[in-house]
Chains A and B, each alone.
Chain A
Amino acid sequence: MKKNPFPYNMFSIIFSLIILLLLPIFIKNPYFLDIAITVLLYAFLGNAWNIVGGYCGQASLGHAAYYGIGAYISTILFLKFGISPWIGMIVGAVFAGVLAIISGYPSLRMKGPYFVFFTIGFAETIRVLFLTWKWVDGSRGIIIPFQNNPVNFIFFSKIPYYYIILIFLIIGMFITYSISKSKIGKYSVAIREDETMAKALGIDTALYKSYTFAISASLMAMGGTFYAQYVLYIHPNDLMSLNNSVIFMLIAVAGGKGTLFGPLIGSAILMPLWEYFRSTLGGRFAGLGILFAGSIILIIGTTAPEGILGILTKIRAKYSISKDNIVGEEK
């Protein structure tokens, strides 16, 4: 087997990057641009979840808490102290990372369902605390006044948002890529495959789990700031609900958890459909989006644990007439 330092098709990556860069020129309708931004944002968030859930195998259902914390920190710094959200975003990311390490200390020693219980409970607690916290306007949410200025991270047009989230996504995927190639990534995969074995081999499992958790939480918080500046309204239930945590997981799992491009594929397929359901069907039919998401997550859980990317790889392997993987090449 020949070792390839970068096992991805360079041509298709550059090609899709060019398409993504030129997309706003072709999309004139702001509604479709909004969907494109949503796709990229959720790809970014799914990618952040993937670091912990996919590579390290710790299925967190509490990532919405870090998402919300990022949004709240940058917004409060901006509105109450006049600090630019760009700086607030970094503060939020650092805070979320530290919080992830602190909360991770007890949680990352837990296994399986205990860990999931903990993450759900943690996120729900943070959500309730924010809902009842008067200083941050609790259940009324915060409206960010529109001040069109790049320094304020507020733009009139959607196009700057598009490029910002595209850059975020590229940075996020680059971080995931470097982690997967580094010691942290290798150790994480070892932890995912067999934690007891990893420990026996001398890997400090708690330490590496907290590393990945902190990186993932920081990225989440950045996504939260972007959401706050894009929508200009934040509310604990919009940001920190369990539904959000599930969507982050769904995107990574549907696309292919533990793969670099899985979250992007998952988001590109799921989010437009999701947005379509949400915008065209109101009232009680709003549940259709969740119905749809639930069915997908159920089907993937029972039949295709490797996600869409896994299915595609299988199909490609089946019909591939390439020379180097005809005989005797198992994975």
Chain B
Amino acid sequence: MREILQAIVNGILLGGIYSLIAIGLSLIWGVMRIINWAHGAMVMLSMYITFFAYSMFKIDPLLALPLVAIIMFVIGYLLQIVLIERTLNSPWISRLCATFGLMMLLESLALLLWSSNWRAISVTYSNWTFCIGGIFISFSRLVAFSIALLMALVLNFFLNHTEIGKAIKATAQDREAAALMGINVNNIYRITFGLGLALTGVAGASLMTFYFVFPKVGFPFALTAYIVCVLGGLGRLNGAVLGGLIIGVAQSVSAYLISPEYKMVVSFVIFLAVLYFKPEGIFGGVTE
């Protein structure tokens, strides 16, 4: 019983990271109707940035976090100008090719530059754990989870109470109407893509406190994030948060009960069940 409780707690803590990655994905989809297939590669990239910030300049991952988020925002903003904008009006299969190609490009570049070695950061608090009622909680995972939750709240505030946030929401609801109201839609798209990547930056930096990085590290996270998005409803941010926690718990408990190898299979079964019974996700999604 205690083990299952432990697995549930671990799942919730990891689920926070899934939520964070999925929120970015969902935001981009909600506003631009684009699935960013390179999302996992972006997580990988921000993990490497965090890693090198630590190994070269001795910047603590948690201090580097805002910096990584800003760098990722700039990368996203530029990528939108250079790459994504060109594909906005093409058939969705070429949009898929563009971001999928970007993913392959980044992963192989990372392999080329930094080899396939696994790298981790060992900071003083990496191994801190504390015990509540017989359940062990890792400090760095708890911090990562809290950051994820905090970011979700900040983003929610940003979207509802700031000028740009409201413009983003307006663009998501109706692109033409927003443009007619004097909103620069292209600029909103750039900011949205940047924001989505900034969230992967936050996720990557907080992951780096307890996880390791290698060129292909991002894809399983992204695959899980896609499932989370579908579960919560594509384009629904609160759905992404809850979906992340559900998938996190499901993976962690199934890893304990069956075998860690099957955790992807379990997520996939959940995904299928959702698509079968409630294709728009548990909160209802935004469709094309």
Contacts and interface: CB of A to CB of B under 8 A. Distances in A.
Contacts of B87: 301-302
Interface stretch (B13-21, B101-109, B119-127, B170-178): B101-109
A318 interface: no
Interface stretch (A115-123, A166-174, A199-207, A224-232): A115-123
Given A121-B268, A294-B103, A111 B98 contact: no
B35 interface: yes
A106 B259 CA distance: 27
B108 A290 contact: yes
Instruction: Assign chain B's interface to a size class.
Output: 35 or more
B98 A302 contact: yes
Interface in A12-68: 53, 57, 59
Contacts of A112: 92, 288
A59 B275 contact: no
Contacts of A295: 101, 105
Contacts of B226: 113, 117, 120
A309 B276 CA distance: 38
Given A113-B234, A128-B265, A59 B111 contact: no
B100 A246 contact: yes
A125 B268 contact: yes
Given A110-B279, A117-B226, A121-B271, A300 B262 contact: no
A120 to B, nearest CB: 7
Interface stretch (A75-83, A145-153, A280-288): A280-288
B275 A298 contact: no
A296 interface: yes
A202 B130 CA distance: 63
A299 B83 CA distance: 9
Contacts of A116: 35, 96
B86 interface: yes
B261 A131 contact: yes
Contact of B259 (A121, A132, A286, A287): A132
Contacts of B162: none
Of A129, A285, A300, A305, chain B has the most CB atoms within 10 Å of the CB of A305
B262 A128 contact: yes
B129 interface: no
Contact of B94 (A121, A290, A305): A305
A289 B104 CA distance: 10
Interface in B65-124: 83, 86-87, 90-109, 111-112, 115-116
A303 interface: yes
Given A59-B93, A302-B83, A117 B227 contact: yes
B221 interface: no
Interface in A243-264: 246, 249, 253, 257
A156 interface: no
Contacts of A53: 93
Given A117-B230, A298-B101, A124 B96 contact: no
A299 B112 CA distance: 20
B109 A117 contact: no
B7 to A, nearest CB: 20
Nearest to A132: B261
Contacts of A284: 111-112, 115-116
A286 B226 CA distance: 28
Contacts of B102: 294, 298
Contacts of A117: 226-227, 230, 271
A125 to B, nearest CB: 5
B265 A125 contact: yes
6 contacts: A132-B262, A253-B97, A291-B105, A291-B108, A294-B102, A298-B105
Please list the 9 inter-chain residue pairs (A to B) with the smallest Cβ-Cβ separation, ordered nearest first. A301-B97, A294-B104, A298-B101, A301-B98, A297-B101, A287-B108, A287-B111, A294-B105, A291-B108
